[in-house]
């Protein structure tokens, strides 16, 4: 049986639990992941009490083992940018293709009290799932990556 826990500002997870979530995401995001430091920052953003920040983390457990996880951050930009950004979603390799990712995505959509954006690479196999549940490709994202010394 799968149990889903929701963490947010009023129901924070422990430091040990955050570390478990970070390690899980770092392992199961595969080539679409980020560093542990960046994943931790996104989770800590959920627990921030600053205006415009927040969100939630959903974690699916099977016998106390994490099998799927979602990190959803508030954007603080209601009206002109979606209120939430789905930062991370991952399912344990052994549980992929069993509907758990879809369950977690739908649960996240239900938990969010506003519109949701996400970034997905064109070769990510989850792209099909996002389209299937109703996400649309409205914009082409472009980024200017500045070097650390401020010179382009």
Q: Residues 9-35: pLDDT tens digits?
A: 888 888 899 999 999 999 999 888 889
As a whole-number percent, the residues of the chain with pLDDT over 70 amount to: 97
Q: How many CA atoms lie within 13 A of 123 on its CB side?
A: 3
The answer as to whether 145 is a domain residue is no
pLDDT digits (tens, 9 = 90+) for 136-150: 887 777 777 887 666
What tokens does 89 get?
Answer: 């979603």
The answer as to whether 146 is a domain residue is no
The pairing of strands 55-62 and 65-74 is antiparallel
Count H helices, E strands: the chain? 4, 5
| Segments forming the whole domain that contains residue 118 | 2-132
Which among 101, 130, 133, 93 has a CA at the least distance from the CA of 2? 101
- Domain with residue 69: its CATH number is 3.40.630.30
The answer as to whether 24 is a domain residue is yes
The answer as to whether 54 is a domain residue is yes
Considering only the C-alpha atoms of the chain, give the largest distance between any 2 of them, rounded to a whole number of Å: 53
The answer as to whether 46 is a domain residue is yes
What tokens does 86 get?
Answer: 């789905």
């Amino acid at each position: 049986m799968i149990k889903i826990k929701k963490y947010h500002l009023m129901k924070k997870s422990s430091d040990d639990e955050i570390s478990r979530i970070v390690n899980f995401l770092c392992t199961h995001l595969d080539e679409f992941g980020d560093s542990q430091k960046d994943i931790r920052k996104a989770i800590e953003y959920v627990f921030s009490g600053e205006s415009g920040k927040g969100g939630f983390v959903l974690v699916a457990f099977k016998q106390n083992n994490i099998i799927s996880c979602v990190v959803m951050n508030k954007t603080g930009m209601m009206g002109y940018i979606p209120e939430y950004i789905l930062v991370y979603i991952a399912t344990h390799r052994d549980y992929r293709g069993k509907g758990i990712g879809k369950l977690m995505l739908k649960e996240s959509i239900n938990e969010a009290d506003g519109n949701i954006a996400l970034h997905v690479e064109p070769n990510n196999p989850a792209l099909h799932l996002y389209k299937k549940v109703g996400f649309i490709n409205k914009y082409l994202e472009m980024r200017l990556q500045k070097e650390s010394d401020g010179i382009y």
